[in-house]
Amino acid sequence: MSLTISPVRDQLDVIVEASTIARDVSQQRQSASRTGFLAEASAALSSSLDYETTLKAVAHLAVPAIADWCAVDILREGRLDS
């Protein structure tokens, strides 16, 4: 919530009441959070040509932002490495 409170004054400039405006800003905050995550993920994806480094960076970004945990399995020459 965003709350704005403004004084209402009489002719003698004495505060006689207050005007209050409450706004729901949850959608704006969610949008900013998503945009920030995408910017960080883009930077991580373009920061290294080494795919293992890139996958680790993206996994580390995903865990606090969109998941409780993350695992990446890589298939190499017939065997599975974690």
For residue 8, name the pLDDT band (cuts at 50, 70, 90): very high
Count of the separate structural domains present in the chain: 1
The residue range of the domain holding 54 is: 2-81
Return mean pLDDT, the chain.
87
The CA distances from residue 18 to 8, 25, 47, 69, in Å, are 5, 22, 52, 47
- Let me know: does 16 contact 9? Beta carbons within 8 Å: yes
Global pTM value: 0.53
